[in-house]
A and B are shown apart, each in its own frame.
Chain A
Amino acid sequence: MNLADHLPALQVIVPLMTAPLVILLRNGFLAWLGALLASLASFGLAILLTVAVLGAGVPEYAMGGWQPPFGISLNVDGLSALMLLLVTGASTLGLAGGRLSLRRDIDNRRAPMFYGAWLIALAGLCGIAVAGDAFNVFVFMEISSLATYILIAAGRDRRALSAVFKYLIIGTIGATFYLIGVGFIYMMTGTLNFADMALRLGDVIETRPIIIAAGFITIGLALKAAVFPLHIWLPRAYTYAPNAVTVFIAACSTKVAIYVLLRFNYGVFHGNLLAHSDLFTVFIIPLALSGILLASAIAIYQGNIKKMLAFSSVAQIGYIALAAGLATHAGLMAAQLHMFNHALAKGTLFLCVLAFVLTTGSASFSNLAGIGRRMPWTMAAFVIAGLSLVGVPGTAGFVSKWYLIVAVMGMPGWGVPLVMAIILSSLLAVVYLWRFVELAYYGQPPDGDVSRMEVPLPLRTLIWSAALANIYFGLVPQLPLALAESGTTTLLGGLLP
């Protein structure tokens, strides 16, 4: 075998194997450098995989040489490639942009542990994205979750600890629910491999255990994905985590849960359980809708920029869930595109927040008044990413919103009210973002000091590259489109129009 065939395995192994090496280091800087290099390497691997997916496709990888369903297989399609790009990209962004900020948050002695956990989290998320086996997804979900708890607990505020404990409890419940669901399916089919499951489920479809399984898996993953109203862990976890960590997890960790949800609901259940898509739609759409509207409204009343963006994330997850719940080709396209575009926008926004906190020391609105005049470059990038979040044309956010609305219009009977809800929530997004933008440009700084205080040039460059990526993918969205198209094809397997 040549190296190219090993790409799916390398995607997981590289960060995973670097982690034990990193924790053995004694120096915070070296540990950071090691983590950054491993993260960059995974990003490179993700790009190679993407190229391969869009080209001839990536062959199934049999771990240990044992063919599925007996062994564990790794499968990479367009959707996986999309997730891999997101995960590795967000990790690299967080590490590269977070050096200064992390140096403040984490003392040198404990830094190797922290960066080790970061790499393990990265490897866990990559592992989920490439896994072709339901139980393997559970293992890697736990790897990434445990590591993420550590990352969040590293926050300097003591509230990080209480937030992370809540996350740990809810995350474990979610993962256990998922495991129960997998157990029920295993009970009825005798297999754990996704493809094999889909094949064998047909015989036992409509039995009680399978319906229960669908329920457990959906609720468990909705907990992990923070679908409203199961989102209670998210705002505080995002708010009190170290800023660099927020850049990383806000961009990708909840999306990975949605990814698994898509895999199950479409890859496994959909083709077999004809009524399933209706059930799923009826279950998820009301939740998604209330999330979109209520979380956006709650975001307006926040006095902390991180918390505001966290509630915005809950609303955006609602969009993704809504699109996924439509159970149509257009809906799945919209869901995948929105995962990509929202990650792009949120990553950029949190990176800007990181820069703000780096210079002012706090993320509260009162402290950030007038920041736009003090840090014009960073704030301009914030505005661009904010526009993408709202879905202004020319930015990445518009592309997915467009797809979402078109998908929603295709729903007989639901179309118009859903469109109105989406538009209303976009307007709410304008309100909460503009509240901050106005304060940043026209507010009076708490100490009255309006002198310039930008972050160092490398960080500014990174922020601007991320911001420009929002515009680039708004004008030239061919890459995510192609990946989503390929992902949709595998998800639906030609079952739906």
Chain B
Amino acid sequence: MTMLLIGVFLLSLLVITAIAIVRSEDLFSAVMLSGIFSLLMALNFFLLDAADVALTEAAVGAGVATVLLLAGLRLIPPKEAPGRPLRALSVTVIAATALLMIYASFGQPTLGDPLAPTQQHIAPWYIEKTPELIDIPNIVTAVLSSFRGYDTLGEVFVVLTAGIGVMFLLGGGRGKPFSRLDSQAEQGLSGHLIPKVMARLLIPFILLFALFIQFHGEYSPGGGFQAGAIFVAGIILYSLVRGEGLALSVIPPRALLLMSAGGALLFGSVGVAGMLMGGNFLEYSVLAENPVIGQHIGIIVIELGVGLTVTGVLLSIFHAFAARD
């Protein structure tokens, strides 16, 4: 009951934040609010027993998205043009839809109902079979990378596509090419002592944490995607401290491209290997004598692929935005 009430409180906050985002005319504050929105959302997910999702939402919604929006706002005016009249028709349609959905909710199973169809079909099978077939503690990781590994392959390609798109749109044209970035002009925060020292101290830990998330994903919440996002957060922090150019020299753009494409290829080649060794695409069981070991190998390699691609793409995107002026 207490949990439920906390949930209600958090959700109400969520709605208020959402309204504040929509109403705010200053885009900077809107970006900050949407970071808060994501954190609240992550908290909610945590309450709802979805640790992996909470971690991801925090890393992506509050972290990556905020940084991206800020990088974008560097290039565009941060003020919204003053208000325009509401359109009565759209308001009516939207309100009606919302009421309809609320009306429909009375036919739905309530929160946490153990008899809901979702808890009866398929999901129990995952929970029951994971120890036997895959033998890793984190069921979410098992489903993500093995039972529904094909979706995850698709997810990696979505990320890669976004990377391709940003590089295609911002990588050419009027912006400066990567190689000619002037490290003199962009000193970042290096003039400020305290952030510099703090960051220096933090960065190694962040990177270490990322590696932990990457390789411990089978046992605890986490995996390639979250690891990539956190790794990127570390690099971005570094670049804030040391200026763009130096951060870039740590990982050259061509290497980023190789990472992005290589990660996706790595994932795919695990699948093809399964095919060559007599199984179906993405069938890890055939990778080793013992099917369970095969699953382990498959999961570790594809998670690595996911991590590589996510890191490569996110860094490319960040640099593409940063290199534009």
Contact = CB atoms under 8 A, between A and B. Distances in A.
Interface of A: 1, 6, 9, 13, 16-17, 19-21, 23-24, 61-66, 69-72, 107, 109-110, 113-114, 116-117, 120, 123, 127, 135-136, 139-140, 142-143, 146-147, 149-150, 153-154, 184, 186-192, 200, 204, 207-209, 211-212
The 8 closest A-B pairs by CB, nearest first: A190-B121, A208-B107, A20-B261, A65-B283, A139-B154, A190-B117, A113-B168, A208-B104
A191 B107 contact: no
Q: Which among B101, B116, B160, B275 has the highest number of chain A CB atoms within 10 Å?
A: B160
A149 B280 contact: no
Contact of B281 (A6, A135, A147, A191): A6
B117 A139 contact: no
Contacts of A23: 164, 257, 261
Nearest to A111: B168
Given A24-B261, A208-B104, 14 more contacts: A17-B265, A21-B265, A65-B274, A70-B147, A71-B148, A109-B172, A139-B151, A143-B154, A143-B157, A143-B161, A146-B161, A146-B162, A149-B165, A209-B104
B160 A127 contact: no
Contacts of A114: 168
A426 B25 CA distance: 50
Contacts of A188: 108, 117
B172 A120 contact: no
Contacts of A123: 157
Contacts of B125: 70
Q: What DSSP secondary structure best describes chain B's contact surface?
A: helix
Interface string B263-282: 01100100110110011111
Contacts of A150: 161, 164-165, 168-169
Nearest to A150: B165
A69 B150 contact: no
A146 B150 CA distance: 18
Contact of B149 (A64, A70, A127, A153): A64
Contacts of A71: 147-148, 150
A377 to B, nearest CB: 34
B265 A146 contact: no
Nearest to B291: A65
B151 A13 contact: no
Interface string B81-120: 0000000000000000000110110111100000011111
Contacts of A204: 117
7 contacts: A23-B261, A61-B280, A64-B274, A113-B168, A114-B168, A142-B158, A143-B161
B234 to A, nearest CB: 25
B115 to A, nearest CB: 11
A303 to B, nearest CB: 29
A20 B262 CA distance: 7
A150 B168 CA distance: 8
Nearest to A203: B117
A318 to B, nearest CB: 23
B171 A110 contact: yes
B122 interface: yes
A187 B101 contact: no
